[in-house]
Structure 1
């Protein structure tokens, strides 16, 4: 239940994650101000009482806390720091970036926004579209502690595991890149190993069931391979081009910190190949089909 002290919320970016998160905020009674160039994404939220604005700046003229959830760092930078960006809003006091953009951009946003007395939190998400739908996302928050506490009820609307990672800007982004790099690497490695097992004569369903009861189990084997991939549907819910973007961000930040990333560099090549073979908006699990075509011949033998 909201109170007179409940902050008004702005939400920019109503894609696969953002629209579901915005619905949870409406469910909790938050006053919601929206910006998205897609009228179809806006429509169901406007029907429930949210208000649409023409620019991110207008959202920030009406909202104390502005959440951003968009695909790429360049869009975030334009939405926040552009001529019609959040930074120029008259009401906003906290900017929360839920996008995956990397720690370098998080630090730039914090430096620019602090000059306007706007606190910046980097708060990337884990849990995918299913987590957004169910309100069970993990939220990894870096930045000012007081701003984090001010946003705690907001994060609780769509998050199950919400953690303040530290006061240094970019720590949330760093943890998210670690998370996604591990998902990308285990997807490639587990798929490659299982395809060997299939070609050697193992039944894929029995194999994945045994792996998931053994030490090789992972989120990839339990949620991705045992689910969508086994059905040959390849629709886990995270775009291929966005996972490749996150892998590239990880590698760039690892180089900045002087950390070797040999395995991660090889993983990136598989996502590069998958991206070169068609629509970038396809699901990230298309990388399994790339491995499939490399490791299984055309003899008609059973695949995943």
Structure 2
């Protein structure tokens, strides 16, 4: 079945829907924001009133919401998709949630013969739109082969992590913890540069060509220097992800010095009322400006 359902068509899900529509595959969408559905309907998607309606007749349901509570609602809520899905269909889980939540979802779906593809994503809306985002895929090989066509449409950078749902989530949390550490470190270093009276733009010129360079540091601190905190990636996202990463590490019996400290920085930003701003705002928080 080439028809694809997507529940959650915000920045990432909407870009994924457009990418699939470009390939002339039929797409059914649902979102709590009717404006998002209308915009995609204008491009050829079919808007559905709830997740269950979206999933009917689709080979794969892509879940692209924010957290585990929303995943639970989409799949197992009063109008959840799982109640209408049948054996042979698959759910592609894209949110960053805990490995245990992924494993629980996979177990419950497997009882109905529905496959789970644990596939957290990385790369942002522009890369989702052109099919170059990264997908960290954990599922059985047979499931992967059945859904390979749509996975290849979505991503030219597919990483086959393992055959065990949950490992994709673990990989994503490892990546996002490092992203959070790099961002917090860049914000601290730039705040230190400000306190020393340095020209921050020139300081970034040096960092970008030297050992302190990181992609997320460059991307976010250039915006911070310009005072641009319009949200591309809200603080709450890495606040959630660093929290989940530290929790997953503890479950695995690992404790590191930087993860908890980074989690505390993001938590502090949310407590300061900065959660809905771009995570570049860590600079403002640490610089005291």
Assess if the C-alpha contact under 8 Å between 2:231 and 2:276 holds in 1. Answer: no
Distance (Å, rounded) in 2 between the aligned partners of 1:222 and 1:148 = 35
Where does residue 273 of structure 2 map in the other structure? 278
The CA distance in 1 between the partners of 2:134 and 2:85, in whole Å, is 30
SS in structure 1 opposite 2:56?
Answer: helix
**1:157, CA displacement in angstroms?**
2.4
Contact 2:190/2:283 (8 A) holds in 1: no
Distance 1:173 1:215, change over 3 A: same
Q: Which moved more, 1:209-218 or 1:19-28?
A: 209-218
**Distance in 2 between residues matched to 1:161 and 1:235, nearest whole Å:** 28
Once residues 109 and 290 of structure 1 are traced to their aligned partners in structure 2, the CA distance between those partners, rounded to angstroms, is 37
In the alignment, structure 1 residue 36 sits paired with structure 2 residue 31 = yes
SS class of match (1:139): strand
Shift of 1:181: 0.8
Of 283, 286, 289 in structure 2, the residue corresponding to residue 291 of structure 1 is 286
Larger mean CA deviation between 283-292 and 112-121 belongs to: 283-292
- Maintained 8 Å contact 1:148/1:164: no
Is residue 208–residue 221 contact of structure 1 (8 Å, CA) maintained in 2?
no
Question: Aligned equivalents of 1:168 and 1:90: distance in 2?
Answer: 21
Moved over 3 A (4+): none
Does the 8 Å contact 1:145/1:164 carry over to 2?
no
CA distance in 1, matches of 2:39, 2:119: 25
| Superposition deviation, residue 195 in structure 1 | 1.9
Q: Secondary structure at the match of 2:135?
A: strand
Q: Which one of the candidate residues 131, 134, 141 is aligned to 1:135? A: 131
CA distance in 2, matches of 1:142, 1:281: 31
Cα RMSD between the aligned structures?
1.7
Moved more, 125-134 or 244-253: 125-134
Aligned length: 288
What is the DSSP-based 3-state SS (H/G/I as helix, E as strand, rest coil) of the residue aligned with 1:17? helix
| DSSP-derived class of the 1:29 partner | coil
> In structure 2, how many angstroms separate the alpha carbons of the residues matched to 1:141 and 1:133?
19
Query: Which ranges of structure 2 fall in alignment gaps of 5 or more residues?
Result: none
Post-superposition shift, 1:160? 2.8
Give the TM-score normalised by structure 1.
Answer: 0.89
Match of 1:153 in 2: 149
CA distance in 2, matches of 1:61, 1:124: 23
1:260 is paired with a residue whose SS is: coil
Q: Is 2:214 the partner of 1:218? A: yes
